[in-house]
Chain A
Amino acid sequence: MAEVLVYVDHVDGAVRKPTLELLTLARRIGEPVAVALGSGAEATAATLAEHGAVKVLTADAPEFADYLVVPKVDALQAAYEAVSAGGSLAAVLVPSSAEGKEIAARLAVRIGSGIITDAVDLEAGDEGPVATQSAFAAAFTTKSRVSKGTPVITVKPNSAPVEAAPAAGAVEALNVTFGDKATGTKVVSRTPRESTGRPELTEAAIVVSGGRGVNGAENFSVIEALADSLGAAVGASRAAVDAGWYPHSNQVGQTGKSVSPQLYIASGISGAIQHRAGMQTSKTIVAVNKDPEAPIFDLVDYGVVGDLFEVVPQLTEEVKARKG
């Protein structure tokens, strides 16, 4: 059976959820071989094995943390060469983070392969894996294939369920020789983002977002209270971020994160194209807005025309009461 390389996104050995979703998709195409790099790489193996990785190739070196992107491309290329030399390699799958896409694209140009980014689904096909993507602010759905080389495909979070599928997950050391370009861009310092204790925006099952109607940084506590009652992540529209009310890392939309949760609650967000691009594929959409003409109401499964400062706190209380 053909093998599928899966690039592992992890923080000090803790595997992030999108990688487990990739394993689900990889198993549709072949046998997943995971590639974990950097500090804690070996610690990923148990989780990866539980979700279907037959092998886990690991490498650690200071270069992975000290220099941007290229050392990881060198390592992924080493994994590509090692696996394709031993048999047939069906695809290389990488999580669609900003860094993941850059790693994948540089690998693709090096190995002479086409690349598809931001797939939301993946199936086996007669001419190689078929990727589903959203286009034009999610107004269109396309199906694409890589027509040259080994397909390199990046996949967005929440594109597949996490499935238990125990496999061997044998750890093998990956031999990596860094090229002379690996140390081109130095990471002089790194400040970890402070944890809010809430789920990661792109991975959350429920997202509660606030926009222009929230009208001030201090008022975002209303949005956060609802999010916390539901165990949700907090998002913000570009208008709210540009106004300085909420951090850019929480922006949902074309130039922020694109989310696809089970439930998206938009409060005080009009629903401009820039925002829709980032949330239109959510399964269920709910909105609270003062303006009955707001375009967001064209997207919703349920909408309340009203003052968010009345409706949202009442909803929060009701959620708490029902959850007991």
Chain B
Amino acid sequence: MSLRIVVCVKYVPDATGDRHFADDLTVDRDDVDGLLSELDEYAVEQALQIAEEADDAEITVLTVGPEDAKDALRKALSMGADKAVHVEDDDLHGTDVMGTSLVLAKAIEKTGYDLVVCGMASTDGTMGVLPAVLAERLGVPQVTLLSEVSVEDGTVKGRRDGDTASEQLEASLPAVVSVTDQSGEARYPSFKGIMAAKKKPVESLDLSDLDIEAEEVGLEGSWTAVDSAAERPARTAGTIVKDEGEGGKQLAEYLASQKFI
């Protein structure tokens, strides 16, 4: 039977742009160009490699987000994913990680899966907890933050490099994995891939398709509240000197004046 892989991706404001909060303190998505989160490219890449190793596999790329989020799906399809699912609903605006994980879990169950692949974190929210929450909601093993991953005979294996140790992990499918930016460079879409992506199916779902009530998601359904967001004051301009042979000593002098030495 075909190995069914679902890759969760996020459409995020470009991290090199001038990112801001909107008036309702959600992430402003209007003033900065959006794109597929860079860290999710690693997830798409590992899914493609797992699919290439399997005899028969199908990759569905899934996102929750506004109309423009289709761009992220299109990018993943052009890299080689087979089809896409887009959950889009006006009531989703302002949804936090708990709501997002609920929507993803329902969409994943509806799609059918053996393996869910996620990136290590989004580049906008940067929490890095969604894969663990997804595993909790789906009731399947969590095999997260992998620098290496492989699937064989219904078992997923991988290496997790932690703070104090490097661990070899193993779990039976179905499972949720997340991969780090150490898992291997993501491929660039080929011209052929970009053309092919235009013909690949993108299914649109809304909350009613997933039996989710509006109150369970969105800003109102959020289990956390942001009370204020302030731009960090610019650092006061420091002293810059040009090294004329005494740069190291000058720096030492400065560090001593600040009591670091």
Contact = CB atoms under 8 A, between A and B. Distances in A.
A101 B128 contact: yes
Contact of A297 (B141, B223, B240): B240
A110 B243 contact: no
B94 to A, nearest CB: 12
Interface residues of A, number: 92
B167 A303 contact: no
B171 A185 contact: yes
Given A115-B224, A300-B240, A311 B251 contact: yes
Interface in A255-270: 255, 262-263
B163 A98 contact: yes
A299 B171 contact: no
A81 interface: no
Interface string A260-291: 00110000000001100100100011101000
A313 B246 CA distance: 11
Contact of B129 (A117, A148, A184, A297): A117
Nearest to A306: B243
A204 to B, nearest CB: 13
4 nearest CB pairs, A to B: A314-B248, A306-B243, A114-B223, A184-B141
Interface residues of B, number: 82
A184 B177 CA distance: 13
Contacts, number: 264
B103 interface: no
B170 A186 contact: yes
Interface string B237-261: 0111111011111111011101011
A303 B240 contact: yes
Interface string B12-26: 000110011100010
A149 interface: yes
Nearest to A200: B163
Interface in A95-144: 97-99, 101-102, 104-106, 108-110, 112-118, 130, 134-144
A312 B248 contact: yes
Given A101-B129, A109-B137, A185-B143, A300 B255 contact: no
